[in-house]
C-alpha cells in the first residue's frame, strides 16, 4: 500500500483506521449478508447508525439536550440558501461577516430572502484576515449573525466565536468542525459539509438549537427545505454510506481523546509549518499572522515559476494536492484532523531542502 501525504482541501484525507474498518465491513455489515449501502434507511441497523452518530456528535460538542442534529445533502452551499429561507424574512436583517469566498456566496443567497448587513469585510485586502470583536459593527436587531469559522481559500480562521451580545450565531463550520472545542451556547445553527474533518463528501451536518428552530417561519418554504421536516425522523433517503462513514470518524475522534486532543494536535502540526514559513523571506505567509488557520496554511514563494517547480518536485516526494485555490494561486497545505504529524514533518523537510537548492 502506497499512501501519499495528502494535503487536499477537500474531499480530504480520512483516518486510515476508519478506511480499514470500512473496508472490512464493505461487503457485509454485521452479519446481514449485505453491505451497509444495500440496507434500508428504515431498517433497525441503519437507524442505529444514525442515532449513534448523533449521540457521538452531541457528546463531542457538548450539546446536551438543546440541539437537533440532521444529516442532509447538498453541501454547505445548500445551507447558504436554506438558512435564510427559514430564518430571514423580507423586512428582516441578518448580519454576515464577510471573510472569504464562501461567506460571500452565503451573502449572495441571503439577499434573495431579506436584508443583509456586513458588520465587517476584509474583501478589499484580499480576505487576508478575520476581525477582532472591536471591529464588528453589528446592525441594530439582526435575526442572526453568520460567520465562516475557517476560510479554506484564503487560509484564515476565527480564533474563537465572534461576540454578538447574545444574538444567535449561524456558522459555516465546514472546514474546522471537530478540530477544537466550541461554546455551543452561542450558536443558533451550525452547518458543515463533512468532507474536511468529519467524513466523505455527500453528507451535510446541520445542528440547530431548539429554541432557535422554533423561530423558523416555514410559510411558503417547500417541505424538504424546512428544518422541522428533518427533526426526530429520517424524512427521505439519506446518503447512508456517508453517514456510516461519519459515524466511524466520530468513533475515531472519541478514541483519540476528543476535541481537546485535536486542538492540541492541530496547533502543534500548524506550528511546525508556520515556523518554517516564518524562518526567512523565501516563504511568505499569505494572511496576517493573528488570523492564520490551523486547517489550511497558505503561502507564496518568490515567483510563480518557483511555485510551479515547488509543486512539481513535491509530487516526486509524495506530497500531494498542495496547489492553492485557483482564485488565489500560491501554495496551500490542508492539515485536518486526519492529516498525520508525519506528513507535516515530511513537508517541512522538503521545504528546507527546496529553499537550500533554490534560494
Half-sphere exposure of 87 (CA within 13 A, CB side): 30
Do 144 and 164 contact (CB within 8 A), yes or no? no
Omega before 149 within 30 of 0, i.e. cis: no
Region for 304 from its dihedrals, namely left if φ exceeds 0, alpha if ψ lies in -120 to 50, beta otherwise: alpha
Q: Which of 294, 242, 291 is nearest to 267 (CA)?
A: 294
Q: What is the pLDDT of residue 232?
A: 78
252 annotated ligand-binding residue: no
- Asked if residue 22 has pLDDT above 80, the reply is yes
b/e map 269-295, b = 16+ CB within 10 Å: bbeebbebbeeeebbebbbeeebbbbb
**Average pLDDT for 2-10:** 95
**Quick one: DSSP state of residue 67?**
E
Q: What is the pLDDT of residue 71?
A: 97
Burial class (CB in 10 A: 0-12, 13-18, 19+), 312: exposed
Half-sphere exposure of 42 (CA within 13 A, CB side): 2
Query: C-alpha grid cell for residue 208?
Result: 440547530
In the chain, the domains with their CATH numbers are: 16-256 (3.40.640.10), 258-358 (3.90.1150.10)
Q: What are the distances in angstroms from CA 89 to CA 110, 188, 228, 237? A: 10, 17, 17, 30
77 annotated ligand-binding residue: yes
Q: Tell me how far apart the alpha carbons of residues 340 and 6 are, in angstroms, rounded to a whole number.
A: 9
2 annotated ligand-binding residue: no
- Asked if residue 1 has pLDDT above 80, the reply is no
Q: Mind listing the pLDDT tens digit for each residue in 158-215? A: 999 999 999 999 999 999 999 999 999 999 999 999 999 999 999 999 999 999 999 9
Region for 171 from its dihedrals, namely left if φ exceeds 0, alpha if ψ lies in -120 to 50, beta otherwise: beta
152 annotated ligand-binding residue: yes
Q: Mind listing the pLDDT tens digit for each residue in 25-58? A: 999 999 999 999 999 999 999 999 999 999 999 9
The residues assigned a catalytic role are: 102, 172, 196
Q: Which residue has the cell 462513514?
A: 245
**Average pLDDT for 107-127:** 97
CA angle 271, 274, 279 (to 5 degrees): 120
> Strand 93-96's sheet: what is its strand order?
67-72, 204-209, 187-193, 169-172, 145-148, 93-96, 115-117
Q: Dmax over Cα atoms in the chain, in whole Å?
A: 64
Strand 187-193, strand 204-209: pairing:
antiparallel
Q: Which of 95, 114, 92, 55 is nearest to 246 (CA)?
A: 55
346 annotated ligand-binding residue: no
What is the band of 355 on the pLDDT scale with cuts at 50, 70, 90?
A: very high
Do 127 and 158 contact (CB within 8 A), yes or no? no
Q: Mind listing the pLDDT tens digit for each residue in 218-248? A: 999 999 999 999 997 899 999 999 999 999 9
Amino acid at each position: 500500500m502506497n499512501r501519499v501525504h495528502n494535503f487536499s482541501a477537500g474531499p480530504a484525507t480520512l483516518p486510515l483506521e476508519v478506511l480499514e474498518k470500512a473496508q472490512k465491513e464493505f461487503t457485509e455489515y454485521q452479519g446481514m449478508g449485505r453491505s451497509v449501502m444495500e440496507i434500508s434507511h428504515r431498517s433497525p441497523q441503519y437507524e442505529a447508525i444514525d442515532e449513534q452518530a448523533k449521540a457521538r456528535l452531541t457528546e463531542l460538542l457538548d450539546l446536551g439536550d438543546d440541539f437537533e442534529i440532521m444529516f442532509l445533502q447538498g453541501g454547505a452551499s445548500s445551507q447558504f440558501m436554506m438558512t435564510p429561507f427559514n430564518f430571514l424574512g423580507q423586512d428582516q436583517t441578518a448580519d454576515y461577516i464577510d471573510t472569504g469566498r464562501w461567506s460571500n456566496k452565503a451573502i449572495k443567497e441571503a439577499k434573495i430572502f431579506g436584508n443583509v448587513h456586513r458588520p465587517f469585510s476584509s474583501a478589499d485586502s484580499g480576505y487576508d484576515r478575520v476581525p477582532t470583536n472591536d471591529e464588528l459593527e453589528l446592525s441594530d436587531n439582526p435575526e442572526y449573525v453568520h460567520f465562516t469559522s475557517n476560510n479554506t481559500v484564503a487560509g484564515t480562521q476565527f480564533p474563537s466565536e465572534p461576540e454578538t451580545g447574545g444574538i444567535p450565531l449561524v456558522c459555516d463550520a465546514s472546514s474546522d468542525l471537530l478540530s477544537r472545542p466550541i461554546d455551543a451556547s452561542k450558536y443558533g445553527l451550525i452547518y458543515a459539509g463533512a468532507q474536511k474533518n468529519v467524513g466523505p463528501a455527500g453528507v451535510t451536518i446541520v445542528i440547530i438549537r431548539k429554541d432557535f428552530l422554533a423561530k423558523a417561519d416555514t410559510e411558503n418554504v417547500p417541505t424538504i427545505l424546512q428544518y422541522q421536516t428533518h427533526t426526530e425522523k429520517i424524512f427521505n433517503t439519506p446518503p447512508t454510506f456517508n453517514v456510516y462513514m461519519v459515524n466511524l470518524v466520530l468513533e475515531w475522534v472519541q478514541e483519540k481523546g476528543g476535541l481537546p486532543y485535536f486542538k492540541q494536535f492541530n496547533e502543534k502540526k500548524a506550528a511546525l509549518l508556520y515556523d518554517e514559513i516564518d524562518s526567512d523571506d523565501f516563504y511568505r505567509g499569505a494572511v496576517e499572522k493573528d488570523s492564520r488557520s490551523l486547517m489550511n496554511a497558505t503561502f507564496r514563494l518568490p515567483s510563480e515559476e518557483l511555485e510551479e517547480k515547488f509543486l512539481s518536485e513535491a509530487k516526486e516526494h509524495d506530497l500531494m494536492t498542495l496547489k492553492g485555490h485557483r482564485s488565489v494561486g500560491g501554495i496551500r497545505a490542508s492539515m485536518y484532523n486526519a492529516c498525520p504529524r508525519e506528513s507535516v514533518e515530511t513537508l517541512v523537510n522538503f521545504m528546507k531542502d527546496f529553499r537550500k537548492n533554490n534560494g
